């Protein structure tokens, strides 16, 4: 049977898939092959995947070391569930503990996705603390199940329906558009200190936990000041809650220097939730927590049919080994730092760039129609993505208005790839600015 064309796939998607299945592009691409940082469409066109298939490809598309481990396992045993013993799950859990720093984070449970991991983290926090209420952050994204959607702090990702009881959202440290209209550092990081009052006035005064992404991904790469999470962690502890770090996007070295993003902020989480990059394209999610918190599950049944599946565990183990073997955390730091500096350098000549932020290979470029008014530029962002795609570069977007370009390539990228990304962005920004008549203010043009 001949493979369907782009037009045929378009028709079939409309006919057979839920209408909420979205695409970014006016002229969609049919991606049929991947190799490390590149993907190829059905016409053989090559693209640099600087969005890592929505931050899932951590070590490279079809990384040969990962593929060979998966192939070997698929040929031996695909599935039996955790009702039966298998070596892969325990070997993986041990390796995860070591990669997580070998400290108190020791006990794991595996799922298929990030939202299931966040659901489980909430159950663990409630069981451990005997409390029900949570603090989450505005601009956050935690997944599409009911609890995960309730924890998510963006209207675009919430459907109007009865949410889970007991979740209150605190302000995120979005310094570029400070929710409190203050300026760092004279603000005293009031967005963090305010969490004390939020717990005091919006909850019973005792909470089950706090959940946050160390850098909000879908929220638009919100990169907080260094004091923000440590202040909140102290407040959460004081009110009896556990600290849950959602590392679905920031984890496994992507932010450079550390295996988990939260380590940049010097906070020791009680529970870490994971997905996306730990599977490098295989549906794998999970949590890692302390023995004390894990003990709250003793005597209770918690089961996930495919969680801990031998194939996903083989893939996960191979991914961790590749991260270690090829020094990918260091690479994310050095290439990411270089890429950010190059993005900052082109921001001088593109008035549409309002802000460049992020760490390692988790970078965001916020686009605005006017730097002074900071009016958001969502249409311009979409057009930029299309122009980049036509030039062989795939990028993502995020933020409440969809005006933040997200650049999160696989951790195998090189400086030369960073130059390619910036080159294509630079050219496409120029074309887009012309189309939308975005010009530098007269004063800055003279300089």
Is 114 or 241 the residue whose CB approaches ligand PLP more closely? Answer: 114
Helix (H) or strand (E) holding 92: helix 87-99
Could you tell me the smallest distance in angstroms from the CB atom of residue 279 to ligand PLP? 9
Residues 6 or more apart whose CB falls under 8 angstroms from that of 400 comprise 139, 154, 155, 156, 219, 220
Could you tell me the smallest distance in angstroms from the CB atom of residue 219 to ligand PLP? 9
Task: Compute the distance between CA of residue 157 and CA of residue 328 in angstroms, rounded to an integer.
Answer: 32
Secondary structure (DSSP) of 16-36? HS-TT---S-SS---EEEEEB
Is 113 or 203 the residue whose CB approaches ligand PLP more closely? Answer: 113
Could you tell me the smallest distance in angstroms from the CB atom of residue 385 to ligand PLP? 18
Helix (H) or strand (E) holding 47: strand 46-49
Could you tell me the smallest distance in angstroms from the CB atom of residue 136 to ligand PLP? 11
- Looking up tokens 């940049």 gives 264
Residue 346's beta-bridge partner residues? none
Could you tell me the smallest distance in angstroms from the CB atom of residue 228 to ligand PLP? 17
Q: Are 392 and 385 in contact (CB under 8 A)?
A: no
Is 99 or 248 the residue whose CB approaches ligand PLP more closely? Answer: 248
Could you tell me the smallest distance in angstroms from the CB atom of residue 115 to ligand PLP? 3
The Cβ of residue 169 has, within 10 Å, a number of other Cβ atoms equal to: 19
Is 114 or 358 the residue whose CB approaches ligand PLP more closely? Answer: 114
Residues 6 or more apart whose CB falls under 8 angstroms from that of 201 comprise none
Could you tell me the smallest distance in angstroms from the CB atom of residue 111 to ligand PLP? 9
- Strands lying side by side in the sheet with 107-111: 107-111, 285-289, 271-274, 242-246, 209-212, 134-137, 167-170
Is 152 or 290 the residue whose CB approaches ligand PLP more closely? Answer: 152
Interacting residue ranges for ligand PLP, rule: CB under 6 A? 113-115, 118, 141-143, 213, 217-218, 246, 248-249, 275, 285
Q: Are 336 and 412 in contact (CB under 8 A)?
A: no
Is 141 or 260 the residue whose CB approaches ligand PLP more closely? Answer: 141
Is 332 or 368 the residue whose CB approaches ligand PLP more closely? Answer: 332
Task: Compute the distance between CA of residue 133 and CA of residue 206 in angstroms, rounded to an integer.
Answer: 8
Could you tell me the smallest distance in angstroms from the CB atom of residue 181 to ligand PLP? 27
Which candidate, 370, 355, 347, places its Cα nearest to that of 422? 347
Could you tell me the smallest distance in angstroms from the CB atom of residue 261 to ligand PLP? 10
For β-strands 404-407 and 134-137, DSSP reports them as unpaired
Alpha carbon 17 to chain centroid, angstroms? 25
Is 61 or 276 the residue whose CB approaches ligand PLP more closely? Answer: 276
Residue nearest to ligand PLP (CB): 114
Is 133 or 213 the residue whose CB approaches ligand PLP more closely? Answer: 213
Alpha carbon 133 to chain centroid, angstroms? 24
């Amino acid at each position: 049977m001949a493979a369907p064309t782009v037009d045929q796939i378009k028709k079939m998607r409309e006919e057979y898939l839920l209408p909420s299945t979205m695409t970014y592009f006016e002229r969609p691409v049919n991606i049929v092959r991947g190799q490390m940082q590149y993907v190829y469409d059905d016409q053989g066109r090559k693209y640099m995947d600087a969005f890592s298939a929505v931050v899932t490809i951590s070590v490279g598309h079809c990384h040969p070391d990962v593929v060979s481990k998966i192939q070997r396992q698929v040929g031996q045993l695909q599935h039996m569930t955790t009702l039966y013993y298998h070596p892969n799950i325990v070997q993986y859990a041990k390796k995860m503990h070591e990669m997580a720093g070998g400290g108190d984070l020791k006990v794991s449970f595996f799922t298929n996705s990030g939202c299931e991991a966040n659901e489980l983290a909430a159950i663990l926090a409630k069981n451990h603390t005997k409390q029900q209420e949570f603090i989450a952050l505005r601009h956050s994204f935690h997944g599409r199940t009911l609890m995960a959607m309730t924890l998510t702090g963006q209207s675009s990702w919430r459907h109007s329906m009865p949410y889970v009881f007991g979740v209150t959202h605190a302000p995120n440290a979005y310094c570029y558009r400070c929710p409190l209209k203050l300026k760092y550092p004279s603000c005293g990081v009031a967005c963090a200190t305010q969490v004390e009052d939020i717990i005091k006035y919006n909850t019973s005064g005792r909470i089950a936990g706090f959940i946050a992404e160390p850098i909000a991904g879908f929220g638009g790469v919100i990169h907080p000041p260094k004091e923000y999470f440590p202040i909140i962690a102290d407040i959460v502890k004081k009110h009896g809650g556990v600290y849950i770090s959602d590392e679905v996007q920031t984890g496994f070295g992507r932010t450079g220097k550390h295996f988990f993003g939260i380590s940049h902020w010097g906070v020791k989480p009680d529970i870490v939730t994971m997905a996306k990059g730990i599977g490098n394209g295989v549906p794998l999610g999970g949590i890692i927590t302390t023995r004390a918190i894990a003990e709250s599950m003793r005597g209770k049944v918690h089961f996930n049919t495919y969680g801990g599946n031998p194939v996903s565990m083989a893939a996960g183990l191979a991914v961790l080994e590749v991260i270690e073997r090829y020094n990918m955390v260091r690479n994310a730091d050095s290439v990411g730092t270089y890429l950010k500096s190059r993005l900052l350098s082109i921001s001088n000549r593109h008035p549409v760039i309002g802000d460049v932020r992020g760490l390692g290979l988790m970078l965001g470029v916020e686009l605005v129609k006017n730097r002074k008014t900071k009016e958001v530029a969502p249409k311009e962002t979409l057009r930029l993505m299309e122009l980049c795609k036509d030039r062989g570069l795939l990028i993502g977007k995020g933020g409440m208005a969809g005006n933040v370009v997200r650049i999160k390539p696989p951790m195998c990228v090189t400086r030369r790839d960073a130059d390619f990304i910036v080159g294509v962005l630079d050219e496409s920004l120029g074309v887009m600015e012309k189309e939308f008549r975005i010009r530098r203010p007269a004063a800055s043009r003279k300089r």
